[in-house]
Amino acid sequence: MFELEKTSLFFESFGRDAPEIVQNIEICHENKISLDTTYHKPKHFILHLNNLFRSVLFLMEYCSKRPEQWLTSAIDQFKRDHDENHEIFKHLRNVSSHQKLVFPRESLVSGLYRIQSNKQYKLKLGFGKHNGPQSYAPDLALRNTEDIFHELNTLNFLMFMDLEHSAISECLGVTRKWFFNVNIKNKTHNIKKMVDVYALSSQFTELLLNCLCSAYAKQKGIKAEKNFDYSLPEFNFVNTLLEIDLYPSLFSQWWEIDEVSPLNCGALAALHEASLHEGSDHFYKGIYTALCSTKNEYADRLKKFGELSIDDTLSDSNFEEFIQFIYANHWHYKNCFGGDFREQPIDAGDIMYIQRLGKMFLEENLKGKKCTAHGTFDKLQTHLRTLYAQI
């Protein structure tokens, strides 16, 4: 379920010393990413926004109650350094938890954009205001940006754009922003302002997660390997949806480029999920068509990977076969031996141990942990050789 500990030696160490903290850091980070990918789908954005208020404040309150002095000191200092935003975050969390969902209001700007990089755009010409929330007709308000894209850009197209979009790196788009009117009056604060809730949430979450990583690194005497960076320019691949995100193949044709991909992070996330599903389907179909077909063939595969060196195992000529044999060993076994373990030389536990050791080895090798990877590989080979001898 949790993957952050697997991304670096720093988070592996952090996870050993304070697993609940690292898990909650990952939850906050994933909430923030979900906020990005659903930015142009109001219903989902609002749900993830409210979840982020809760998860961030829970992490802060949990850290404040921990016995580690370095952790409580870091949180106390963070609260002092970001007093007003912390108060606003608490207010929004309390509204969300005890009254109703925080329901931000929106502003929409549409026009002609120039793509300056994969994440940064420049608005050249357009209509709309971003200095605060605006009022829109019911058929436009709180609709998915994709669903109202052409309604907002019809005039822009007729005024600014030729049909074939001949200006390279220029296309129409819509930028959306989300606002909430904060009104706090208590013994310590008197805050009355309109806030960009996405900008506030992103910045506050980034600062908190980096604060915790830095505090842990400082008390361990090590360098924090990863900084969370959510900063973005005014018009960017999160808040702006472009034509190129909706019909990239047409831009490939218009601009005479072999392949054009969407830029918006929500569109990219959807494509990534689709590609993962397609890749998984292809992977397992490939395994099924190349299963060991006899007991001798299964035994030969055990012998092969029980004797190959680690470098040979990871080589281009053997790696795919190794992966397939490890990940779907139960399929290979079933195809060769059938399903009755009572009269077979190996049992279900033996197969599960192959898969467990194989996955551990691959994960450790991917993280660059050469010593532990070699140790796990030795255990795997010993197990494979034992099973070969039993067969």
Residue 378: what pLDDT? Answer: 95
User: Interior CA angle at 221 toward 219 and 223, to 5°?
Assistant: 110
Residue 5: what pLDDT? Answer: 85
Q: Where are the domains of the chain?
A: 4-102+195-220, 105-180+237-264, 290-390
Q: pLDDT tens across 58-99, in order?
A: 999 999 999 999 999 999 999 999 999 999 999 999 988 877
Two structure tokens written together for 268: 């990219």
**C-alpha–C-alpha distance, residues 87 and 190, integer Å:** 10
**What is the longest distance spanned by two Cα atoms in the chain?**
79
Buried b (16+ CB within 10 A) or exposed e, 286-323: ebeeebbeeeeebbebbbbbbebebeebbeeebeeebb
Cβ 234 vs Cβ 176: under 8 Å: no
Residue 1: what pLDDT? Answer: 52
Cβ 332 vs Cβ 291: under 8 Å: yes
Closest to 152 in 3D by CA, of 108, 121, 188: 108
User: Could you state, in chain order, the average pLDDT of each consecutive group of 10 residues for the chain (391 residues)?
Assistant: 81 92 96 97 96 96 94 96 95 87 92 96 91 87 93 91 92 96 90 95 96 95 85 96 96 92 96 94 93 93 95 94 94 87 83 94 86 93 94 86
This prediction's pTM: 0.85
Map 166-235 to HEC letters. Answer: CCCCEEEEEEEEEEEEEEEECCCCEEEEEEEHHHHHHHHHHHHHHHHHHHHHHHHCCCCCCCCCCCCCCC
Site of tokens 């949990």: 62
